[in-house]
Structure 1
Amino acid sequence: MKTTLYISLLLAGLHAVAHGQLPPSHRNGHDSNEPKHHIHHGDEAIACLKLVPNNADFAFQFFKEVTLEAPNKNIFFSPVSISTAFAMLALGARSTTQSQILEGLTFNLTEIQEKEIHEGFHNLMHMLSHPESGVQLNMGNAIFLTEKLKPLKKFLHDAKALYQLEAFTTDFNNPMKAEKQINDYIEMKTHGKITNLVKDMDPQTVMLLASFVFFKGNWEKPFKPEDTEEREFFVDAGTTVKVPMMHQTGRFDFYFDEELSCTVVQLHYNGSATAFLVLPEKGKMKQLEQTLVKETIQEWSDHLFQSLMSLYFPKFSISGTYEIMNTLSKMGIVDVFTNQADLSGITGAPELKVSKVVHKAALDVDERGTEAAAATAAEIMTVSLPPTIEFNHPFLMLIFDRDTNSTLFIGKIVNPTITS
């Protein structure tokens, strides 16, 4: 009989915006096919870039599955956190269990070697955590082990070297004490954004794996708090709520996708993060969320143009908590959750399986990001009133990192007054 292994994935996004499966922004003057970060990071970026198409495919496949499971609810998760945690788990997996995990992460093992995958994730984590990027983005992984379970030195060494793994001894026989140890660690690492991640822990647990990502950034063009006002948000045909709506008039990167009937506005953070705000026409959300793929993001990015507009965007906080075993099983990651699991690369024995996967993400959006920039710039306005774009019904928010082309967070905001 397999021993239980809890895997807990968590992440926090704060003051969101990002850049992602897209080419460098037009405003930087780069050719859209030019991988600009090669200049700065050399081989590291090359290894990281190999993961980009696969991580993007995983992100949007996972999004499709989650939206099918919760069609009319807020959704917020970090695909890069989930894929990083499971890539690390693959280090300790063997045989079919390992290939299912890597193929479930959308890697074609005839085209990319396992070693290249791990090196790519290692470099991705390093590049995302670079302090010079202008945003605060911390990623990490931790493993909590019962004293009786002796992990192989090779697994601990490789996981620490490649995935910045921290290892802790935990008394799972005392569930309350174990929960406090794990939750305190996660709360500290996510600056208080992720709390009470684990609860009702099974005393039979022998190992828990936690992965986290914390994001915090400043808007490149902060909104003025005095311009925020309460306005109506139309949740559905029968539900209207009042939300604090931020407002700014200026030039924004904009595109209208006629095929998907949606308006796309790109807002930048200082540094390497950017957000795509996607407002489908009423009744078109389902079509958008089920057809969204990385090529769509690429097309939007290629067609963005600067347009003068009056932009209204809600100020909100949301979080999402998911037990994602079923979702991952639908994507082909099956054996690791059953008695067929082979995680013998972790302890040398095959009697481990994953019994639970919890993923939690949180996002705050407000006027500043964190602190408004000290410099001010005057916008030259035309006399005629610019068109108004108001995010006053369900929309998507996609947060990307430009330097690595990584999808940090994907959110669907159906009702911005519901926080979790």
Structure 2
Amino acid sequence: MEMYIFAASVCFLIGVTVGGSQQFSLSDSVNAFGVNLLGETVNQAGDSINIALSTYTVWYLMSILAEGSRDNTARQLENTLKIPQDKSPLRINFQNFSDTLLTRANGVRLELNTAIFSNKDFPVKKSFEALLHEYYKVALKPVNFKSPTQAASFINEYVAQATRNRIPVLVSTSDVSNAQVFLTSILYFKGQWKRPFNVSASHRETFYDEKNMKIGEVDMMYQTGIFPYSRIEEIKAHVLELPYGANRKMSMVVILPFKGQNIAGVLNSMIKVPFSSIITSLEEAEQQFVDEDVHVYLPRFKISSDFNLNIVLNKMGIKDVFDLDKANLLGMFDHYLYLSRLIQKAEIEVNEDGTVASAASGGFLQNKSQPPRFRANKPFLYFIVEKSTKSIVFAGKVSNPDIPK
């Protein structure tokens, strides 16, 4: 059994009646937005909810909207996504980034499918279509939204194929009954641990909440080995990296708050610390403690999430694109449209073999004279990361042990 992750993010665009720059780092943009999105989703979902979230596909879709937006709609998207007003650096960086990100290697596969389903009455502007084709690898699919049943079936078939039928139904007839344009971005990831856990070492163990109260039991996986591990004082957390595949191109980074700290506090601290610096801290730890084992305890878990992200994105500063009176997407269409909602369905399953998903600089390294124990028996964060770009593609939180045996 392999570890898997899959996710589908979608935007519904509804028609309405008319009434200088610093050096740009795409990975920093992706990561800053991803940490903020996870943090705000945690705030909205509550402490006890497990979360699976493809932060990258949301960033990707909203960046496409930013390319086609104008005026205040554009400024809000640019500020929240951390992308420049002059999109030239974004476009150039994205081409290289996308080629690097997509992976089909020994033990690891990462795929991304992005499409715009558009009503023939609301065609994409030719100039915008050319932009999408040249830089963003977005497929354009004509759909007859006047037949919602037909449109929903067509979209669901596309999503099912892209997720290996893990998401057979993403939208219903009622979902698309008022839509004029539908954007979707689908992530599929499958990875085998570089060092799989031994199934015979897994055992039932108590899981605690953030107040150190027992809330149930989990199937706790265990192994000891040489893994990048660090105590990072800036975020007040233990950080562990579990690589996938023979070439370690992808990894899961697990972040466990220090005793007395909680997930919300760690996320607030991470907003102030570039995620790339956390990866750098792990790399430095690996070099400094090259021959030292880490005792790893990680629960087997499976999480399914289904979110409407309108409120979350609104809280983050993206407001006008959801407002039928203020949205300006005239760079994409000759008609006035607004984003009625952005939804995402995602799932992650982690076991002894791996994962499947269809998504600090100056850190203090504690002396590891005693082999450290990384025991994830309380709420923790996880991030699926592409190592060469140090970029987050998927993220989430495990809060409770509602996990099938």
- Per the shorter chain, which TM-score range? 0.7 to 0.9
Query: Unpaired runs of 5+ in structure 2?
Result: 6-22, 357-368
* Distance verdict in 2 for CA 1:258–1:203, change over 3 Å: closer
Aligned residue for 1:201?
175
Tell me the secondary structure at the aligned position of residue 377 of structure 2: coil
1:217 aligns with 2:191: yes
Contact 2:228 2:282 in 1 (8 A): no
Q: Quick one: distance in 1 between partners of 2:98 and 2:378?
A: 35
* Distance verdict in 2 for CA 1:388–1:345, change over 3 Å: closer
Contact 1:14 1:214 in 2 (8 A): no
Contact 2:196 2:353 in 1 (8 A): yes
Contact 2:192 2:354 in 1 (8 A): yes
Tell me the secondary structure at the aligned position of residue 100 of structure 1: helix
Say what the alpha-carbon RMSD is for the aligned residues.
2.7
Q: Quick one: distance in 2 between partners of 1:59 and 1:133?
A: 27
1:79 aligns with 2:52: no
Aligned residue for 2:266?
288
Q: How does 1:227-242 map to 2 (within 5 A)?
A: 227-235=201-209, 237-242=212-217
1:347 aligns with 2:333: yes
Contact 1:317 1:416 in 2 (8 A): no
1:58 aligns with 2:54: no
Deviations along 1:180-200, one digit per CA (max 9) or x if unpaired, are: 221221121022333432233
1:363 aligns with 2:348: yes
Contact 2:24 2:89 in 1 (8 A): no
Q: How does 1:97-112 map to 2 (within 5 A)?
A: 97-109=73-85
TM-score of the two chains, using structure 2 as the length reference: 0.81
Deviations along 1:49-104, one digit per CA (max 9) or x if unpaired, are: 72122222212222222222123122221222111111112222223322322222
Tell me the secondary structure at the aligned position of residue 81 of structure 1: helix
Contact 2:257 2:266 in 1 (8 A): yes
Contact 2:52 2:397 in 1 (8 A): yes
Aligned-pair CA distance for 1:370: 6.7
Contact 2:191 2:355 in 1 (8 A): yes
Q: How does 1:233-382 map to 2 (within 5 A)?
A: 233-235=207-209, 237-258=212-233, 260-270=235-245, 271=247, 272-285=249-262, 286-293=264-271, 294-295=273-274, 298-299=277-278, 300-301=281-282, 303-305=284-286, 306=289, 307-338=292-323, 339-349=325-335, 351-369=336-354
Q: Quick one: distance in 2 between partners of 1:214 and 1:275?
A: 15
Q: Quick one: distance in 2 between partners of 1:251 and 1:259?
A: 24
Aligned-pair CA distance for 1:409: 1.4
Moved more, 115-124 or 311-320: 115-124
Corresponding residue to 2:154 among 177, 181, 205: 181
Contact 2:156 2:170 in 1 (8 A): yes
1:304 maps to a residue whose letter is A
Q: Quick one: distance in 2 between partners of 1:235 and 1:247?
A: 20
Query: Unpaired runs of 5+ in structure 1?
Result: 1-12, 17-47, 372-383
Q: Percent identity?
A: 28
Aligned residues: 360
Tell me the secondary structure at the aligned position of residue 356 of structure 1: strand
Deviations along 1:188-247, one digit per CA (max 9) or x if unpaired, are: 102233343223314121111001111111111111222222222224555522222111
Q: Quick one: distance in 2 between partners of 1:296 and 1:150?
A: 39
Q: Quick one: distance in 2 between partners of 1:260 and 1:398?
A: 15
Corresponding residue to 2:102 among 114, 129, 135: 129
Contact 2:28 2:275 in 1 (8 A): no
1:67 maps to a residue whose letter is V
1:169 aligns with 2:142: yes
* Distance verdict in 2 for CA 1:222–1:302, change over 3 Å: closer
TM-score of the two chains, using structure 1 as the length reference: 0.78
